[in-house]
Structure 1
């Protein structure tokens, strides 16, 4: 939703072009940057460090929250296996070398540029990003809701990758210049990209163990995903405008790779879970907690 609102704000602020002798795009940076700083200063006074100092809580509410925090800290870093959260360099190494990893990144950086390449002005291109982000927001909520209801992560995330693949295939495939079709491809791709990212992160948080390995594994995953944005900045070149076949084609290839790897991941986890079901029981897992996701009692979340 932030993407949708930023498109609207950018459109409105761009109308200030020429005010104070500055271009509209400069005012976008100035005003949105200034708003961030103002909110940060206000937050310093409104966001409390701890419940005991929060003036909007009664003494009883403070006591209840402090008790809850004490309970959660006592069991922090443990899961159903009971592994502990103490830092362990062996688990850092295990996370770096672990076979679990997938990432897709690109559309958000260049959506206005892609739409502008379809023949629209910069201002109208900003407005046309709003429906794309709104659809992606609805998709995020729907996928998250049904994924939880059905207790399925991998299947829904696979569906997201397939949606991304179809979206960019539509954007890059036509031999003739059809703006509406490219725009539709952006819609479809966004509806797969944005729910797909939290799906991958949910799988990582469920399937890395113990706590140190989980923390490092998720950091690696998010770090590599962010690097994807740096790579994408070189995919969409001015000389490829307005079709951006190179950019769309490369992202299409990454989506296909993600779909393939996640499919392999799904069946590999199912195989490991089935083997552990045959060989062990959760009821006989004592002494194995320090093994984390290598424990015979651990089951990968799918």
Structure 2
């Protein structure tokens, strides 16, 4: 993580928070403030993300407990039910960050959490394919906005280099959720027949109830922004905004940091949607290279988390044994992702680690494709290797894009575009692991390998171009952009300011 009281500027110069133009702040005080924000924000944010993941993918565990038999699903009906969640999930992801400030985080986030929890509970009572599709589409509708909203929400409190590790923790919690999901599913398996209900029904109900309760708690826990955070002192509220402004390029004409009253006025002005920044995101090349790459890696992660119980079961393991064997896969994914998150934040690099994740994941799928004749142990080893790369390759780029879009609304639009279009992969992944392809699933593994390889190439291109642009700015080749501009025009340059440096 970056040093507490410094920010990067051009030509390797550093600006200290103890600068007379800034407000004096000791490193110990800054670390104490960060811990305070982490302790108030992260328990509820991570808990809800874990429940979101479980409520979305527990259909994979439910399949081993007779869901298809009980609901009369045949052929690829199961794949259809998995895919249709994304019909509502995708279109509602994009607008969420844009309306977050309008609706207020402590209303939007708890409301959608309660709604998807109720939809999950209702899934435990469905009687046919049509009802299952309806509840799955409702889960997709309400879950769609959670990750984009939380990602944008965290930018209100943290600086660029601090945001990386914290977003990693949110995304890595999905691996923790997967491990917990396998363990919960194993335990719930012994409830089969209780009150004349199948184990998969109990699974849906018992994983939906905590979501509803956490949603109600979130309303009282989450602060809308630093200025309304009751857990921060007046000085800390001001310092949060000062620290965020340090990530922006400095300007000789910049006015001194505003006082608390001016901060509140500025916050009100920022609630107005800046359409020029939104269109700027859609014209930015890096938004599109990373969006296309995200489709490839999301095909991998959605196929993996949804079908890993089915894939392991097809190797010859029993239903309950297959549920247990998913736990080491998610544990490997979580540990590798957290290790890479730490190293990435410490070094300030993103692209190199993303490429490493793609290479590891491709190696895992190559093992799965080449070892069916060597038995289930070799195949399971392939699943573990994929796990070591899947979260790094699909989660790290989400933080990487946010790090390179300093404007709030450009960040919201760029992130919303990347996440929404990237999740189209959920539809693709639902149909490439076909029932008739078991036990080897050559089609699913082969297509996923191809998608991840292409994504790796796009990430390599993005890394190269961002690194080249930084070198050009170091040589002063972009200084001409400041010529003839007013202070207001210079302030609006954002990441195009010659002093701004991209993270690559």
* Distance change >3 Å, CA 241–CA 48, structure 1 → 2: closer
1:11 aligns with 2:197: no
2:247 equivalent in structure 1: 79
Does the 8 Å CA contact 1:167/1:185 hold for their aligned counterparts?
Answer: yes
**1:64-213 matched pairs, under 5 angstroms:** 65-73=233-241, 79-81=247-249, 87-100=273-286, 101=290, 102-103=293-294, 104-105=297-298, 106=302, 107-174=304-371, 176=373, 178-213=375-410
1:289 aligns with 2:457: no
1:40 aligns with 2:215: yes
Helix, strand or coil: the match of 2:390? helix
1:224 equivalent in structure 2: 421
* Distance change >3 Å, CA 40–CA 270, structure 1 → 2: closer
Does the 8 Å CA contact 1:78/1:211 hold for their aligned counterparts?
Answer: no
Does the 8 Å CA contact 1:109/1:229 hold for their aligned counterparts?
Answer: no
Aligned-pair CA distance for 1:122? 2.1
2:204 counterpart (24, 29, 38) = 29
TM-score by length of 1: 0.86
- Which shifted more, 240-249 or 79-88? 79-88
Aligned-pair CA distance for 1:260? 0.5
Helix, strand or coil: the match of 1:138? helix
**Structure 2 Cα separation of the partners of residues 120 and 82 of structure 1:** 60
Aligned-pair CA distance for 1:37? 2.3
**Structure 1 Cα separation of the partners of residues 227 and 399 of structure 2:** 32
Helix, strand or coil: the match of 2:373? coil
**Structure 1 Cα separation of the partners of residues 218 and 405 of structure 2:** 35
1:2 aligns with 2:177: yes
Gaps of 5+ in 2: 1-175, 252-265
2:133 equivalent in structure 1: none
**Structure 1 Cα separation of the partners of residues 411 and 245 of structure 2:** 10
**1:220-299 matched pairs, under 5 angstroms:** 220-280=417-477, 288-299=490-501
2:145 equivalent in structure 1: none
Post-superposition Cα deviations, 1:236-295, rounded to whole Å, max 9, x if no partner, equal 11011111111111111111011110111111112222222223588x966533122233
Aligned-pair CA distance for 1:175? 5.9
- Which shifted more, 81-90 or 232-241? 81-90
1:301 equivalent in structure 2: 503
* Distance change >3 Å, CA 211–CA 36, structure 1 → 2: closer
- Which shifted more, 266-275 or 125-134? 266-275
* Distance change >3 Å, CA 19–CA 224, structure 1 → 2: same
* Distance change >3 Å, CA 40–CA 202, structure 1 → 2: closer
- Which shifted more, 207-216 or 169-178? 169-178
The count of aligned residue pairs is 293
Post-superposition Cα deviations, 1:20-43, rounded to whole Å, max 9, x if no partner, equal 1111111111111123223434x1
CA RMSD of aligned residues (A): 2.9
